[in-house]
Structures are given as C-alpha cells and as structure tokens.
Amino acid sequence: MTQLEDCPEIGFKPDFTFFDEDPKPLEQHLKPVPDFPLQALDSSLQKYVSILARQKSIPVDFPGTVLLALSGGVIGRSVQLRMRPAQKWMESANVWAMLVGRPSSKKSPTLRELCNCIIGPLEDRAHQEHKFEYAAYKSEAKTDTKNKSEEGPLLRRYLTDDCTTAKLRELFAQNPNGRPKGTRNKSTMLAQLLLERDLEEICNRLIEEAKTGNMLAVKMILDRILPPKKDSLIAIDIPEIKTASDILQAINCISTAVGQGEISPSEGETLLKIIDIHSKALEIYDFEKRLKAIEERGFK
C-alpha cells in the first residue's frame, strides 16, 4: 500500500490507499445515453411529453422521467404484478427517478409543472375532503363527548419536502396505497407462529390464575379473551324517507320500539342520528331544487 503525503497546511492526516499505481485522470467525454422510450407511453402522453419538451427546449427525458415517477406514486400498491406463476413474488409501481443535468437546464421547472398537473388536483381534492371531514368531526365532538377521538381525520398527503427516514415513516403509515390491505407485520406473524404451539396451555394457566383472585389475569381475560361486545344489527321496520312527513313517521317508529323494549335506548339514539343526517341532506337537496327553479324563472 502507498502512504499519501501529509498536508499540514489544512490539517490532513496520513492515510493509506489500496492501489500502487499513480492516479489517472477521469474521462472527459461522457458515454452516450439511450433515448427515452417514448413508445412505452400512451399516445396521448407521448404528445404531451413531446409538446412540453419543445416548449421548454429540454430533452424529452426530463418530462418523461418525471411522468413515470409521478405515475408510480399515484398508482402505489393498488395494482401489482405477479412476476412468476404460483409464487408470492409481487412487484408494485415503485419508481425511483433522478434528473441529471447542468445548472439552469430547467430540471426544477419541469418537475414543478408536472407535479401541478398530476398531483395538484389530487392535493386540492384531499384538502377539500379533509376540510369537510374535520368540520364533521368537530361537530360530532361537540355533541358526543363520550366517544370523542383524540385525533381528528388525517390529511392525505401526496408530496413531501422532508425526505428524512422518520418523516417518511410517518407519512407511509398514513398512506392508504402503501401496504396492501390485510398485510400483517412480519414480527406479528413470527409471534403468532411461536405462540400457536403453547396457546392453549397459556390460556388455561391464565384462567387458573384468575380463579385464584389474580386481578391482573382477570383484566387480561376481560380485555383480550372476552372483549366488549360490538354493535349488532338493529331489526326494526322504518318507512322510506323521502319527505319531511316520512321523517316524523320514522321517529315515531323508533320511539315506539324503544318504549316497547324492541331496541335499546342507545340503539334508538343511533338511529335518530342517522335520520337527522338524512333530514339535513333532504334540506340541502330541496334548497338547491328551489334555487334552480328561481334562477330559471329569472332567466326567462
């Protein structure tokens, strides 16, 4: 090995290299890069990429590469390909892309314009949906203080400017197109596999401890083995609601069912909330219908 020279002027320390030859200059000429495969895109997308490239005087590689990356992000894991028959090897539209060019070669403007075109409408719709969901959440929280959730509805995110591991982990956990529905964590699967052999013995031992007065064992049985009963189906005949008079009939049916013991008071309260939402929807529909009729009269 060859020892490099000291550089006391800037505080470098001696280092060692794993080659004995003298350094060689880097190649000055870049190797040719194949053209971007426009034919891989749909015909309408081919025209869009070509026109954008001509307008900005840039190679089609820039808009084409960005388009592929953004499309992969929008698709996510909603569509997957099975790579080999009868195997679990699946691949999703996970595309990593990078634009390489000299300064002022319009990399950022290209990325910005395509993001506004493809992701912009999705971001706007997500903000609108979150606005309505948050308003409904605040309204429900005022009336239902018992079942108030600590966290409100989450805002669906499509873009981020924080690429740290911690932030990406937080965003991916909220991503509906990330992990496929029903996929379990590997650590959870391993724990279940280890417990399958001794599960019956562990449960019997837990029951024996509860019989001896171990309150911790009693709590575990009530919380885990016998969890609280979830809501069941409500069997009650309610007339179809089309007008305000139908709403009164439905409320009378619910009140009668609660009074006769056919349903519980909490179930009746749940049904009344549903009817209240239905009645508000009817009011909005009736208002829009009347407003449209007034506008048509005014134009005539």
Cβ 97 vs Cβ 65: under 8 Å: yes
pLDDT in tens, 59-79: 999 999 999 988 888 887 788
Residues 68 and 100 in one domain: yes
Asked whether residue 214 is domain-assigned, the answer is: yes
Supply the Cα-derived Rg of the chain in whole angstroms: 32
Tally Cβ neighbours within 10 Å of residue 293.
Answer: 10
Distance CA 57, CA 11 (A): 47
The pLDDT-based confidence of 188 (bands split at 50, 70, 90) is: low
Residues 48 and 86 in one domain: yes
Residue 231 has pLDDT above 70, yes or no: no
pLDDT in tens, 38-61: 888 888 888 989 998 998 899 999
Polymer length of the chain: 300
Residue 116 has pLDDT above 60, yes or no: yes
Residues 95 and 48 in one domain: yes
Expressed as residue numbers, the domain containing 270 is 244-299
Cβ 33 vs Cβ 57: under 8 Å: no
Cβ 39 vs Cβ 46: under 8 Å: yes
Provide the pLDDT for residue 62: 93
Q: How many domains does the chain have?
A: 3
**Ranges 14-28, 201-215, 234-248: which has the least confidence:** 14-28
Domain endpoint, select from 82, 102, 120: 120
Q: Which residue has the higher pLDDT, 196 or 157?
A: 157
Mean pLDDT for all residues in the chain: 77
Residue 4 has pLDDT above 80, yes or no: no
Domain endpoint, select from 90, 120, 150: 120
Residues 111 and 52 in one domain: yes
Residues 47 and 98 in one domain: yes
Asked whether residue 53 is domain-assigned, the answer is: yes
pLDDT in tens, 248-291: 888 888 888 888 888 888 888 888 888 888 787 777 777 777 77
Asked whether residue 127 is domain-assigned, the answer is: no
Asked whether residue 80 is domain-assigned, the answer is: yes
Residues 45 and 107 in one domain: yes
Asked whether residue 151 is domain-assigned, the answer is: no
Asked whether residue 31 is domain-assigned, the answer is: no
Asked whether residue 141 is domain-assigned, the answer is: no
Residues 46 and 99 in one domain: yes
Mean pLDDT of 34-39: 88
Residues 259 and 198 in one domain: no
> Can you read off the two tokens belonging to residue 49?
């990429």
The pLDDT-based confidence of 232 (bands split at 50, 70, 90) is: low
Cβ 249 vs Cβ 277: under 8 Å: no
Asked whether residue 248 is domain-assigned, the answer is: yes
